[in-house]
Structure 1
Amino acid sequence: MTNVSETENNKNGNKPGILKIMQSVLAGAIGVQSNRRREEDFSSHSPWPYIIAGVLFTAIFVAGLIVVVQLVIANQ
């Protein structure tokens, strides 16, 4: 019964903050996200903040790798 009320609270406007979204995306990318946190994420109001944060994280990560590779190649 507790899970139902928590889910209803999330649907009633309990939006996750930017810090919580960033923590969830980083933990998911590394692979260390707890089951409780994953359930909170999936019961949140909308998946769009997580999708946008995931795409931005991936783009920044790939851009960072490209920069590092370019720096290593330029120094050879």
Structure 2
Amino acid sequence: MDERKVTVWGIIKSVLAALFGVQSQQQHQQDFKHSSPWPFIIIGGIIIGVLVITLIAIAQQATAI
């Protein structure tokens, strides 16, 4: 049995892979096998928030020109 500790960097990589749709089913199952889904949800929310803020800033810059 693989008793790996899930690191913050590992969570970020998993969230980004899932966001872009390239995460394997095996990796998905491994992520949630030994840990709670809450760190993934929180980091996913932060990443989505940063993405939305970035897109809003880009749109405002584009319309200001």
Q: What TM-score, normalized by structure 2, do the two folds share?
A: 0.89
Tell me the amino acid that sits aligned with residue 60 of structure 1.
V
Residue in 1 aligned with 2:11? 21
Matched-pair identity in %: 37
Equivalent position to 2:61, from 38, 48, 71: 71
Give the whole-Å Cα distance in 1 for the aligned partners of 2:17 and 2:24: 8
Moved over 4 A (4+): none
5 Å-filtered alignment, 1:42-57, equals 42-57=32-47
Stretches of structure 1 that go unaligned for 5 or more consecutive residues are none
Residue in 2 aligned with 1:61? 51
Residue in 2 aligned with 1:41? 31
How far has the Cα of 1:36 moved from its partner?
1.7
Count of residues paired in the alignment: 65
Stretches of structure 2 that go unaligned for 5 or more consecutive residues are none
SS at structure 2 position matched to 1:36:
helix
SS at structure 1 position matched to 2:16:
helix
**Range that drifts further, 55-64 or 36-45:** 36-45
**Higher Cα radius of gyration:** 1
Give the whole-Å Cα distance in 2 for the aligned partners of 1:28 and 1:44: 18
